Amino acid sequence: MIEKELVNIFDECVDRLAAGQTIEDCLRQYPQHATQLRPMLEVGLLTRRVVPPTAEVIAAQDRVRQRVETVVQTMPPQRQPVRLFTQRIATLAASLVLVFLIAVGGGATLAQDSLPGDFLYGMKLLTENVRLAVAPDVFGLTAEFNQRRVDETRQLITFKRQAELEFEGSVSVIDANTWEIAGLPMSVPAGLGAQVQTGDKVRVRVETTTNGEIHIVEIVETEHLAPPATPMPPPTVVPSHTPTATLTVTSSHTPAPTETPSSTPTATLTVTSSHTPSHTPTPTETPSNTPTVTATTTKTPTSTRTPILLVTNTFAPSQTPSPTPDVCVPQRPDRWQTYRIQAGDTLSGLAASRGVLLSRVMAVNCLVDAGFIVVGQELFLPIPLATALPPSSGDNGQPGNGSDNSNNNSGNGNSNDNGNDNDDDHKNDNDD
Amino acid sequence: MRIYEAYFPPIYQFIRLRVGDPHAAEDLASDVFVKFVTALRGKNAPDHSLRGWLFRVARNTIADYYGKEKQVATETLEEWVPALDDDNPESQFMRTLDIERARQAMRMLAAEQQEVLILRFGQLLSLQETADVMNKTVSAVKSLQFRAVDTLRRILGEMQLENQHD
């Protein structure tokens, strides 16, 4: 048992050394074991010195980074935005991916090319927050990130994708209900921004539509800047910069407060008409379906949302629609409503918040994979437990992306039966 | 903040001390981080201790490597420049010798003993972390580290004797 005691004391000393104490510090506590312990602790400390040369480590670090980066780039793209592993690790994993991708550079590039709704977009925002948190030049960065939002908006309307985001810029044109902010034309709902004048600097929350238009949802902040319309002089606007972090969070994560009662209530409800109508939901990966993409085997054309390959690939509707027999057709149960998937949603979370079994949600919506939902996808869900009955505007829409006009929910209550045209359409969301 | 920057050096050091060949060590380190990226995309992403996870993967990767290679990795001859914490030039040479000798001696230990030394002394992992990485109980790690250091001390003593005879 002496041995056992020594083993424990030795371990304690190892911890003390790790904490920065000296060998003597520990031996003073146990003078009776000093003769045995001293040489052992010295040997232990000696092993700490056995490390490869720093230069070798650094060189290896750079080379391995490149290798990993290459691997990351050749990985098949994550097919959809909101796939979030298991809930338990979702947040951690996402932030790890993020930070790792920042580190690996290449991944950060992928994320940087992403748009709202893409899987990597959350990372892009997180990356920015991390950078803002550590940046010496917060103003410069804020301006840079703001410019990104503007660029993203431009891309979103080019691709006719629906998303919501926030940025600031000078109002260069005010012409009835059309403004130009940061060089982008956008419509302003009546009653908004009456006091805004040309030359003012505003922060706006906008929505891009599948028609390629931009609507202002909210004017978050206005700053009257009479003097020459310098487009965004960042350092002068100290107060307005603090909320930037919040901004990013908002646009990606808010569990969607129902939109402000704008006069354009409906545009959000449907997903692109640019969408390829349908194809077999069988998960076979046919390389022939990816015309422009390199080696990766993707099932890209199944949905417009292929984050990483977006630029090369989004508009490749080359497929011939092949109606498939025997498909599961989502039917809206009584008192259920249509819900549009937001970034950050998980199916299990949604089911829980509505007090319904996940399996029921999946069955009703013809889903096969609980992890597989897409931002913007529409599902039938019961009314949330907390909320009262008033049906939301999307009450009667069809789930899936098959609805092919953007105003089909205007009926808003009953009798809006447009279900026939998309029997095979909404399968697109759910296949895998 | 940067996971890769923060964790590459310890993981590489760990692998490099177990695998003599720097090229092989680099390959293995690369495998570890590819596994990491892959895991993040899959369902088995690390969920609590990332450091422990990485060391564990590194350890398994090394085991696979030795399983595959069978033969002992080729030792490189280049001198290791030890990390010195003081600038006393007189002792530097002696220390370099000592450390080089310690490295050789360590490589004579059983794999687990080498691992426990690297993790506990080199990487300053706690007892619990080390136990998790090595898939052992805390008390098993305690006696393992004790025996490892004791054995190493003996080997070093013998090397010393040999040198004096030369």
Residues in chain B with CB shorter than 8 Å from the CB of A15 are 126-127
| Residue A245 pLDDT greater than 80, yes or no | no
Yes or no, beta carbons of A96 and B45 under 8 Å apart: yes
In angstroms, the separation between the Cα of residue B146 and the nearest Cα of chain A is 6
| Residue B135 pLDDT greater than 70, yes or no | yes
Interface test with B, best of A17, A51, A308 (most B CBs within 10 A): A51
Cα–Cα distances in angstroms (integers) from residue A80 to residues A77, A111, A117, B3, in the given order = 8, 14, 9, 25
User: Do residues A15 and B126 lie in contact, with contact meaning Cβ atoms separated by under 8 Å?
Assistant: yes
In angstroms, the separation between the Cα of residue A123 and the nearest Cα of chain B is 13
User: Do residues A98 and A127 lie in contact, with contact meaning Cβ atoms separated by under 8 Å?
Assistant: yes
Q: How far is CA A256 from the centre of its chain?
A: 14
pLDDT tens digit string along A86-143? 444 455 555 555 555 555 544 445 566 677 766 567 666 766 766 665 555 666 777 7
Please report, as a single letter, which amino acid is at residue A217.
V
Residues in chain B with CB shorter than 8 Å from the CB of A62 are none
Instruction: Using alpha carbons only, give the angle A18, A22, A24 rounded to the nearest 5 degrees.
Output: 140
> Which residues are CB-neighbours of A224 under 8 A, at least 6 positions away?
A197, A200
Search chain A and give the residue with CA nearest B6: A103
A154 vs B8, residue with greater confidence: B8
B83 and chain A in contact, CB less than 8 A:
yes
Nearest-angstrom CA–CA distance, B18 and B66: 10
Which whole number is the average pLDDT over A33-60? 90
**Buried-exposed string A229-261: b where 16+ CB fall within 10 A, e elsewhere:** eeebebeebeebbeebeebbebbbeeeeeebee
Residues in chain B with CB shorter than 8 Å from the CB of A21 are none
- Residue A41 is predicted with a pLDDT of 93
B18 vs B160, residue with greater confidence: B18
pLDDT band (50, 70, 90) for residue A398? very low
Yes or no, beta carbons of A50 and B106 under 8 Å apart: yes
Cα–Cα distances in angstroms (integers) from residue A398 to residues A75, A106, A163, A393, in the given order = 34, 39, 19, 12
| Residue A43 pLDDT greater than 60, yes or no | yes
Mean pLDDT taken over chain A: 64
**Buried-exposed string A116-144: b where 16+ CB fall within 10 A, e elsewhere:** bbbbbbbbbbbbbbbebeeeeebeebbbe
Yes or no, beta carbons of B40 and A96 under 8 Å apart: yes
Please report, as a single letter, which amino acid is at residue A40.
M
Cα–Cα distances in angstroms (integers) from residue A350 to residues A252, A355, A382, in the given order = 17, 9, 9
Yes or no, beta carbons of A57 and B146 under 8 Å apart: no
Taking alpha carbons only, the member of B120, B129, B123 closest to residue B9 is: B123
pLDDT band (50, 70, 90) for residue B119? very high
> Which residues are CB-neighbours of B127 under 8 A, at least 6 positions away?
A11, A15, B120, B138, B141, B142
Nearest-angstrom CA–CA distance, B64 and B70: 10
> Which residues are CB-neighbours of B93 under 8 A, at least 6 positions away?
none
| Residue B151 pLDDT greater than 90, yes or no | yes
Which whole number is the average pLDDT over A42-51? 88
Secondary element (H or E) of residue B46: none
pLDDT band (50, 70, 90) for residue A14? very high
Yes or no, beta carbons of B83 and A54 under 8 Å apart: yes
Which whole number is the average pLDDT over A382-389? 62
Number of Cβ within a 10 Å radius of residue A263 = 11
User: Do residues B149 and A10 lie in contact, with contact meaning Cβ atoms separated by under 8 Å?
Assistant: yes
Task: Give the lowest-confidence range in A122-126, A191-195, B20-24.
Answer: A122-126
Percent of chain A with pLDDT over 70: 49
Of B3, B13, B145, the CB nearest to A96: B3
Cα–Cα distances in angstroms (integers) from residue B160 to residues A327, B97, B106, B154, B157, in the given order = 79, 11, 14, 10, 5
Task: Output the DSSP codes for B60-128.
Answer: HHHHHHHHHH-SPPPPP-PPP----SS--HHHHHHHHHHHHHHHHHHTTS-HHHHHHHIIIIIS---HH
Residue A381, φ and ψ in degrees, nearest 5: -140, 155
Which whole number is the average pLDDT over A227-242? 43
- Residue B92 is predicted with a pLDDT of 56
- Residue B68 is predicted with a pLDDT of 64
Helix B138-165 to helix B127-134 angle, to the nearest 10 degrees?
A: 90
Cα–Cα distances in angstroms (integers) from residue A404 to residues A22, A45, A265, A291, A378, in the given order = 74, 71, 17, 25, 13
| Residue A383 pLDDT greater than 60, yes or no | yes
| Residue B126 pLDDT greater than 70, yes or no | yes
β partners of residue A27: none
In angstroms, the separation between the Cα of residue B84 and the nearest Cα of chain A is 8
Residue A215, φ and ψ in degrees, nearest 5: -115, 135
pLDDT tens digit string along A373-382? 677 778 888 8
Task: Output the DSSP codes for B138-166.
Answer: HHHHHHHHHHHHHHHHHHHHHHHHHHHH-
Interface test with B, best of A1, A40, A64, A346 (most B CBs within 10 A): A64
Q: What is the ipTM of this complex?
A: 0.83
pLDDT band (50, 70, 90) for residue A307? very low
A106 vs A271, residue with greater confidence: A106
B95 and chain A in contact, CB less than 8 A:
yes
Number of Cβ within a 10 Å radius of residue A425 = 20
Task: Give the lowest-confidence range in A88-92, A348-352, B27-31.
Answer: A88-92
- Residue A183 is predicted with a pLDDT of 84
Helix B50-69 to helix B127-134 angle, to the nearest 10 degrees?
A: 40
β partners of residue A186: A179
- Residue B46 is predicted with a pLDDT of 66
B131 vs A394, residue with greater confidence: B131
**Buried-exposed string A381-409: b where 16+ CB fall within 10 A, e elsewhere:** bbbeeeeeeeebbbbbbbbbbbbbebebb
Token pair, residue A391, equals 């049906």
- Residue A60 is predicted with a pLDDT of 93
- Residue A264 is predicted with a pLDDT of 36
- Residue A33 is predicted with a pLDDT of 92
Token pair 């076979």 is at which residue?
A284
A350 vs B166, residue with greater confidence: A350
pLDDT tens digit string along B47-85? 667 888 899 999 999 998 888 654 444 444 344 444 444
B12 and chain A in contact, CB less than 8 A:
yes
Cα–Cα distances in angstroms (integers) from residue A198 to residues A201, A204, A229, A292, B30, in the given order = 9, 15, 8, 44, 55
Secondary element (H or E) of residue A413: none
Which range scores top for mean pLDDT: A30-39, A314-323, A406-415, B93-102? A30-39
- Residue B44 is predicted with a pLDDT of 63
Mean pLDDT taken over chain B: 81
Which range scores top for mean pLDDT: A96-100, A175-179, A231-235, B65-69? A175-179
For B161, counting Cβ atoms within 10 Å of its Cβ (0-12 exposed, 13-18 middle, 19+ buried), the class is exposed
In angstroms, the separation between the Cα of residue B166 and the nearest Cα of chain A is 23
B160 vs B73, residue with greater confidence: B160
